[in-house]
Amino acid sequence: MLTIKKHRIAVSGFILLLCFIPLKSEAQEIMKKDTVVHLVNKTEVIKSLFVPGWGQVNQERLSTSLFFYFSSSLYYYRSAFHYYHYKKYTSAQHEKMFKINLYAALFLHGLNVLDAATHSDNPGWQGGLLDDKPLKSPWGAVSRSAMLPGWGQIYNGSYWKAAGYFLTDAYLIYKIREADLAYQSEGGSALREERSRYSWYFGIAYLMTLADSYAGAYLYQFDKAIKLTVMPFVGRDKLALEFYVRF
């Protein structure tokens, strides 16, 4: 009986060895690849680990970035909402919904990190000063401002604008939340109208933030791409100024 067990152990070890050899050789082939790709891989993974969608937006995969950002944010928010009500009312239903939403958020967050890691070879935006493409990605700037108002302006190098848009949008969100809490506790049409009014204000400010980030990216360093030269011209019977525009 002992001999049979030893035989089984030996066979199992041999099979594991056969499985390990191709994996080891495959890992060696992977290690031979360009190390720059792996460095980019690490960078995008770390960014997506901190903020879902951050790695994808740097890779110029904008729809994927917005999907991971807003879906993860939604489930994180819902889990916090149900956790708050579970602590307040000790409700089994809220506890169950808290766990479901938290697991969904963590799953999407992990999937987002994996997605960023497997697409690290994406070069992102490749614009140029005198190229048909602008230096900054217009829709990339819009995506950044959609994720966090003002981030697109930071991407464009407009830091004062970024602070202004961020503070404006944050203030309007605060006023919406304040009016909503007052309406939930006191009721009344006046508070409901106030909440709706600030919601409209926020919607307009948010759209302006997106539009400004798009225009700022499209016109980034546009003044350096156009050179205007004025030269005097003296002819036989005329004196004039000639304008040269270089793109």
Per the document, the length of the chain is 247
- Partnered with residue 229 across adjacent β-strands are 244
On whether residue 70 sits in a domain, the answer given is: yes
Q: pLDDT tens digits, the chain, 247 residues: what are they?
A: 444 444 444 444 444 444 444 444 444 444 444 444 444 467 888 999 999 999 999 899 999 999 999 999 999 999 999 998 898 888 889 999 999 999 999 999 999 999 998 886 667 888 877 677 888 999 999 999 999 999 999 999 999 999 999 999 999 999 999 998 888 888 788 888 999 999 999 999 999 999 999 999 988 876 665 655 545 555 556 555 555 555 5
Residue 170: per-residue pLDDT:
96
What pLDDT sits at residue 232?
A: 55
* 3 found inside a domain: no
> Does 162 reside within a domain?
no
Dihedral of CA 131/207/212/43: which sign?
A: negative
Residue 157, in any domain of the structure: no
55 burial via Cβ count (<10 Å: 0-12, 13-18, 19+): buried
* 174 is a domain residue: no
The encoded tokens of residue 206 equal 């948010």
> In 163-195, which positions are buried (b, 16+ CB within 10 angstroms) versus exposed (e)?
ebbbebbeebbebbeebbebbeeeeeeebeebb
The answer to whether 167 and 202 are in contact (CB under 8 A) is: no
d(CA 158, CA 147): 17
**Number of helices and strands in the chain (H, E):** 10, 2
Structure tokens that stand for 74 in this block: 């939604």
Q: What is the pTM of this model?
A: 0.72
In a domain, 98, yes or no: yes
204 token code pair = 């307009």
Which pLDDT belongs to residue 3?
A: 45
Number of domains in the chain: 1
Q: Return the pLDDT at 42.
A: 79
Q: Which amino acid is at 207?
A: L
For 39-93, the three-class secondary structure string (H helix, E strand, C coil) is HHHHHHHHHHHHCCCHHHHHCCCHHHHHHHHHHHHHHHHHHHHHHHHHHHHCCHH
- Residue 1's pLDDT is 45
Q: Which whole-number Å values give the CA distances from 33 to 28, 36, 38, 121, 187, in the listed order?
A: 9, 9, 9, 12, 64
Q: Range of 60's domain?
A: 35-124
For 96, which DSSP code?
Answer: H
- Residue 223 counted as domain residue: no
Q: Are 68 and 53 in contact (CB under 8 A)?
A: yes
Query: Could you tell me if residue 120 is inside a domain?
Result: yes
